[in-house]
Amino acid sequence: MTYLKPLFRHPKLPKNKLGYTLKEYEGTISTLCAGCGHDSISATIVQACFELSIEPHLVAKISGIGCSSKTPAYFLGNSHGFNSVHGRMPSVATGANLANKNMVYFGVSGDGDTASIGMGQFVHVIRRNLNMVYVVMNNGCYGLTKGQDSATADVGSASKSGHINPFQPVDLASLAVELGATFVAQSFSGDKQQLVPLIKAAIQHKGLAFINVMSPCVTFNNNPGSTKSYDYVREHMQATGTLDFVPEREAIKAEYAAGTDTAVSLHDGTVMRLHKLAPEWNPEDRLSAVNAMQQARAKNEILTGLLYINTEFGDLHDILNTSDGAFNTLGEKALCPGEEQLQVINAGLR
Amino acid sequence: MSMTQAIPRPRARINNFVARFANVNGTGSASANFLFAKAIFRMGIPVTPKNIFPSNIQGLPTWYEVRVSEKGYLGRREGIDLLVAVNAQSMKQDIESVRKGGYLVYDSTKKLSPDLIREDIHYLGIPMMELANENFSNPRQRQLFKNIIYVGALSVLLQIEFEVLESLLKEQFAGKEKLIAPNITAIKLGMDYVREHFDYPLDFYLERRDLVRDKIMVDGNTACGLGAVYGGATVMAWYPITPSTSVAEAYEKFASQYRIDPQTGKHHYAVVQAEDELAAMGMVIGANWNGARALTATSGPGVSLMNEFIGLAYFAEVPAVLIDVQRAGPSTGMPTRTQQSDITLAAYASHGDTKHPLLFPASPEECFRMTADCFDLADRLQTPVILMTDLDLGMNDHMSEPFQWDENRKYDRGKVLNKEELEDMGRYGRYLDTEGDGIPYRTYPGTHPSKGAFTTRGTSRDEYAVYTEDSAAYKRNMDRLQTKWETAKKIVPAPSLYQESNQSEIGMLFFGTSTYSSEEAKDILEEKEIQLDAIRIKAFPFGTETEAFIRSHKLVFIIEQNRDGQLRSLIINEMQMNPKKLVSVLNYDGMPITADNIVLQISDYLKQKNAVPHDLSETLI
């Protein structure tokens, strides 16, 4: 079942640089449970793309299987989506990105989709530094199959049925840093203020931008004892800092106390301003990021914000030295060596 | 020489023998053996070399078998006329494999153990190691030139023209001229030794002919890689697996030559070595979904892994090209041996009701052409298309028609809507069958700012790509996919018929690498006055010609290289043919099927009482 949203638009809705209102970035009405954290994340993606004035049709949304992977239908209705197979979003995104490097790629996945069945592809898409935003909507459980523990459920965490998870969790953000991801962030679906600028920065980052978003499952994992519940996450969030995304040539309006600001220049000339709350943490230093994450983990805290960024490393297209246009626009002239060349090849085989 | 005199010499045979080289893997024998085969090819004589190699890098036995056939038969033939035995490990077995009256060329530096002496073959001992040690100082060179010495010896025994060997060596070492002279020295050492010690030529030998014409000699995998470059593939995603690896390597080699932007030096192609075959197929589907042509190459185990994705591409209607270089299964099976045993796997890959077009090339030229054609077919049908080659075709050099390309050929991208077409139409329905052929219109992501966007999915959906669990909509979609399958029957390559009209009530049907030996078997049977009509299948689904052929014969032998008669099963299943009239002729030992084997199986069957079922008239079938 799919619901369509009413076409009525308020005449005074604010417009972005392209003349689009937020409506042009919305999708169909969600069929997820009321209060699902995933819907909040969809809304932040809509907001981030609207604010960045991205052409919606130049975005591709690719997902695997699960509640999270359904969400691409619920945001950016003017963008093509590909709801592929379980755990294999990264490979489909890799192929799509190779075909046309001039689009924005959103990979949407969940904790089952990424940390279990798709772990191999998660690892390798990071290695390749594919230019995409990789969002994990992490709720610590399998929602669509009614609440089984996932690989990100914490040890001792209780499910709705009271079952206590006996296994160590997979910490996706730490793992991403360890694997050499060039942009790693962590956030909470209930913290739109933090998430919107993070997604904007992730879009502008050239390379793989991984965002692990705690997104409580209201139906199966929002109970006392779950470390992925709204209450637990709210109480144990520890922000690395606030983040302002400042597109190039725009006045920086926010003011920061001296000595706590970090400006990070992104590939396209835009600048990210980070206001640090944790003085010992430096987002461009991998060791410092790993240290901060491990310390938070030891305290059962969830470190949020931009954890690590590296703007030096080229993306997969840079590594493969691909031509500037999109492959899907190349015709016979660029692709086919022709009959004359074939005769030369034949001659070499005689 | 003395040993040879006791056995009477048969009548001389010209350009008709099988030579086998027994080597140790990793000792540099491959280039020497190829030199031997290529020299015969250069003398205008049809020749088929086959590598029989272990799943190993160094140390295990490996064989190189060369069949020379004046009549142009390129299938494997049983019975070894001459064996070059330079591997102590396999010596006993090798000597036993020589046909009665045949020859054994061995390294006589060490005396042959008496238990290796057979009374019914000729022994030609050449002190290869001794000659190499006397003339070369570098230990690696001694090893390598030992191989070249036996090529020199064979050139006298079999009358290979020295000038041909010389020019091949000059071509091989162009740019490394220093290596030419010692190679020539090694050739001459072998030649001189034979001239001084043996009668020559042997009772079978070579004579220059003009039978090769403009043919080329190349392996099928190289041809597939080149076909993908010509066919417009820009993305090659793959995972290493024998025997398909060299398809990806060939693609990259040719792309790096012909796909460089002249202005920027950047690449109009991307090769990604994936983490596994699943990811390779995922990348291919992602790239094709976004409008690029992409392919992967694998073997049976990889196809098994790709099943889920193949089903997605079938149901979501995304083009994809897969090259399956088949090897002997099941499971890891015999990874370096050949078979045609992925037929049912590939035809029906994935769960649910799925089926996929398959193409069956039989030569490198067809590997080239059909690979390029796969892209057009995949785009037109918006579905995965699988090229079913095998280890024998893929990894062995074959004498083949030359590659050809129509300079005016345009890539057929099928039904794809551009921005203007989207603009000018009403509501776009991705899965609407507007032309009745079951093929709906695609549009690439990013084409139009506000029209044409939809979610591609492996779940059921309606004609407008909207998710639905409505039974009627689901069924309509499945029925449309069946209509598309009927369209596929009309556009996949038609079979080749070997006669204009039926000459017999018995037919033979074959495909892929079984073709060579089947054609030869047909001739041998004809000499025995057993007339058979023949058809070569080039694609699945089967078209009307194949159906008519089977219906109009009372008995059809189906020749294939697997245990279960997989193509026969497909024929029974897809065309509701009576199984009684379809008789399997099989070979599944991992070696290429031979004509003798086919002849034996067919003639044995026909010797049975009532072999041809007279009760099976056309109307009953």
Quick one: average pLDDT of B84-103?
95
Residue A11 belongs to some domain of the structure: no
Please answer yes or no on whether A339 and B406 come within 8 Å at the CB atom. yes
Report yes or no on B196 lying in a domain. Answer: yes
Q: Are residues B394 and B479 in the same domain?
A: no
Domain end call among B368, B400, B432: B400
This model of the complex carries an ipTM of 0.95
pLDDT-derived band at A246, boundaries 50, 70, 90: low
Confidence of residue A275 (pLDDT cuts 50, 70, 90): low
> Could you tell me if B533 and B465 lie in one domain?
no
Which residues of chain B have a CB within 8 Å of the CB of A327?
Answer: 234-235, 268-270, 287, 292
In a domain, residue B231? The reply is: yes
- Return the residue of A nearest to B39 by Cα: A350
Hey, how many other C-beta atoms are within 10 angstroms of the C-beta on A188? 24
State pLDDT tens for residues B168-192. 999 999 999 999 999 999 999 999 9
Q: Looking at the structure, tell me whether residues B244 and B385 fall in a common domain.
A: yes
Residue with tokens 């014969």: B553
- For residues B292 and B295, give the distance between their C-alpha atoms in angstroms, rounded to a whole number: 10
Supply the mean pLDDT for chain B. 95
Q: How many structural domains comprise chain A?
A: 1
pLDDT of residue B53: 87
pLDDT band at A3 (very low <50, low <70, confident <90, very high): low
Contacts of A128 in chain B (CB under 8 A): 272
In a domain, B112, yes or no: yes
Considering the domain architecture, whether residues B388 and B240 belong to the same structural domain is answered as yes
Q: Do A121 and B218 touch (CB under 8 A)?
A: no
Q: How confident is the model at residue B611 (pLDDT cuts 50, 70, 90)?
A: confident
| Within-domain flag for A85 | yes
Q: B576 and B515: one domain? A: yes
Mean of the per-residue pLDDT values of chain A: 89
Q: Do B216 and A350 touch (CB under 8 A)?
A: yes
Which of B239, B290, B410 is best to mutate for the A interface (most A CBs within 10 A)?
Answer: B290
Q: Which amino acid type is present at position B187?
A: I
Closest-CA residue of chain A to B284: A95
Separation CA B568–CA B571 (nearest Å): 5
Cβ-Cβ contacts under 8 Å between A and B: the total is 239
Domain limits for position B365: 218-400
Whether residue B163 is found in the same domain as residue B276: no
Does the pLDDT value for residue B273 go beyond 90? yes
As a whole-number percent, the residues of chain A with pLDDT over 90 amount to: 68
CATH number at residue A305: 3.40.50.970
pLDDT at A300: 82
Q: Report if residue B14 sits inside a domain.
A: yes
A10, part of any domain: no
Q: What is the CATH number of the domain that holds B314?
A: 3.40.50.970
In a domain, A140, yes or no: yes
Tell me how far apart the alpha carbons of residues B125 and B157 are, in angstroms, rounded to a whole number. Answer: 13
Q: Please count the structural domains in chain B.
A: 4
Coil, strand or helix: which one is B68? strand
Q: Are residues B391 and B467 in the same domain?
A: no
Specify if A5 maps to a domain: no
Q: Read out DSSP for A230-285? A: HHHHHHHEEESEEEEEE-TTS-------TTSEEEEE-TTS-EEEEEESSTT--TT-
Burial label for B219, CB within 10 Å (0-12, 13-18, 19+), is: buried
* A62/B286 touch (CB, cutoff 8 Å), yes or no: yes
Same domain for B487 and B500, yes or no, is: no
Encoded tokens for B571: 């024929």
Q: Binning pLDDT at 50, 70 and 90, where does residue A334 land?
A: very high
B197-231: pLDDT as tens digits = 999 999 999 999 999 999 999 999 999 999 999 99
What integer pLDDT is reported at residue A296 of this predicted model?
A: 84
Give the best-scoring range by mean pLDDT among A88-102, A269-283, A299-313.
A88-102
Helices B471-491 and B364-381: angle between axes, nearest 10 degrees: 150
Last residue of a domain, one of B149, B180, B205: B205
CB-nearest to A96 from B215, B289, B407 is: B289
Question: Are A266 and A272 in contact, with CB atoms under 8 Å apart?
Answer: yes
Taking a C-beta distance cutoff of 8 angstroms, is the pair B216, B404 a contact?
no
Dist CA A222 CA A205 (whole Å): 33
- β partners of residue B399: B217
Looking at the structure, tell me whether residues B192 and B46 fall in a common domain. Answer: yes
A 86-125 residues with CB < 8 A to B:
88, 90-100, 102-103, 120-121, 123-124
Residue A195 lies in a domain: yes
Structure confidence at residue B54 (pLDDT): 85
Among residues B491, B513, B528, the one where a domain terminates is B491
Does residue B410 sit within a domain?
A: no
CB atoms within 10 A of CB B262: 6
pLDDT value of position B27: 84
A53 touching B (Cβ < 8 Å): no
Q: Give me the CATH number covering residue B100.
A: 3.40.920.10
Question: Could you tell me where the DSSP H helices lie in B136-179?
Answer: 139-157, 162-172
What does the pLDDT average to over B572-589?
A: 96
Instruction: Examine the domain organization and report whether B441 and B369 are in the same domain.
Output: no
Same domain, B311 and B446: no
H or E element in which residue B327 lies: none
User: CB atoms < 10 A from the CB of B107, how many?
Assistant: 22
Residue A217 belongs to a domain: yes
Tell me, yes or no, whether B384 lies in a domain. Answer: yes
On whether both B16 and B160 belong to a single domain, the answer is yes
Mean pLDDT of B296-300: 98
CATH number, domain with residue B603: 3.40.50.920
- The string of pLDDT tens digits covering residues A302-314 is 888 999 999 999 9
What is the 8-class DSSP label of residue A7?
-
A271-275, A304-308, B244-248, B564-568 — which is least confidently predicted?
A271-275
Structure confidence at residue A266 (pLDDT): 67
pLDDT of residue B617 exceeding 50, the answer is no
Q: Cβ of B188: how many Cβ atoms within 10 Å?
A: 17
> Hey, which residues does B211 pair with through a beta bridge?
none
Lowest model confidence (mean pLDDT) among A230-234, A318-322, B151-155, B324-328:
A230-234
Q: Which residues of B touch A104 (CB under 8 A)?
A: none
Domain assignment of residue B598, yes or no = yes
Asked whether residue A104 is domain-assigned, the answer is yes
**Tens of pLDDT along A281-333?**
788 899 988 988 888 888 888 888 999 999 999 999 999 999 999 999 999 99
Rounded to whole angstroms, what are the CA distances from B186 to A185, A291, B20, B86, B147? Answer: 66, 65, 20, 16, 9
Residue B409 in any domain: the answer is: no
Are residues A57 and B447, on separate chains, in Cβ contact within 8 Å?
A: yes
